[in-house]
Amino acid sequence: MLEDRSYMREPDWRPAAGRSGISLCLTLIIANVICYVLQHTVRGFEGALALFPQRLQEGNIWELLSYQFLHGGLFHLLINCAMIWFAGRQIEEALGKARFLALYLVAGVFGGLLQCGLSWSGFLPPAGVVGASAGIFGLIAAFAMVYWERELTFLIMFIIPVRMKAKYLLIALAVIGVLGIISKQGGIAHGAHLGGMIWGVLFILLFIQGGTWSGAEPWWDRLKERFGSGRDRKVVTIDGGARAYSRDQGKSVDVEEIDFVESEVDPILDKISEKGIQSLSERERKILEQARKKMGR
């Protein structure tokens, strides 16, 4: 089997400890509902915890977290809770609870900072901000980065079904965010949305695909290899088989066999995943059989 070799395995983004217990998506939904009830039963609750650019300048840094659990109305709450559930479950499963929570909360902080920064610069009015949307956009961006070619079906206006690959959804949402900021459309914190998306992309590039948490090959090394300066890579195994790449670790081994797998077999496996095994040409089938025999040595 191709998976018998460590370098044919995907990085282990899902530690067993991260999959046990109650879902963090459900926990976040419950927290948002509780805070919404408090908004409407406790005088001054919303005003004290919403994010205001002027108050953030004065040192109210906790508002970068607290504003994420407040909402402008019942419809706002329901939409955001639904998005946490549908956009977050697979990311939580893929990354584990700790990474998922770091992604979600820091995306909210990042989005709040960008929204306030645009207000401080005079580009946007200094309005208060509430809502979980920045964290949600971070989840969507992370999903698109991890499942780049995955086709999604969603409903426009809850009626018209549209199928779109995750990468195109990410691009479309980024364009909408930028246009929303430029148009200075009121009532929607496009800066927070865009900031959350930026953090979602950075989180996957730096901490997952970058190898800090996952053992995956850093994306910058893949770029170097593509342009001819990364041929001295070495590979070691960590955590029982996850891939790690190094140029200076004494226990690493040369990667001639890795290069064969990555240059010949990986594209075939991607094609099978996307179009099915019936889409393979005769040459591709022979390469896959050759790889299977090589792995079975």
Q: What is the mean pLDDT of residues 243-258?
A: 42
3-class DSSP state of 71: coil
pLDDT of residue 52: 95
CATH topology of domain 14-208: Rhomboid-like fold (1.20.1540)
Q: Note the pLDDT tens digit of each residue in 82-115.
A: 999 988 998 998 888 999 999 999 999 999 999 9
**What sections of the chain are H helices per DSSP?**
24-39, 45-49, 53-57, 63-66, 74-95, 97-120, 133-146, 166-183, 190-203, 219-226, 256-260, 266-275, 282-295
Q: Note the pLDDT tens digit of each residue in 115-160.
A: 999 999 988 888 899 999 999 999 999 999 988 888 877 666 556 6
Q: Note the pLDDT tens digit of each residue in 182-206.
A: 887 767 899 999 999 999 999 998 8
What are the extents of the domains in the chain? 14-208, 219-295
pTM to 2 decimals? 0.67
3-class DSSP state of 134: helix
**DSSP H or E segment with residue 151:** strand 151-156
Among the ranges given (69-73, 189-193, 249-253), the one the predictor scored with the smallest mean pLDDT: 249-253
pLDDT of residue 50 exceeding 90: yes
Give the residue with greater pLDDT, 215 vs 159.
159
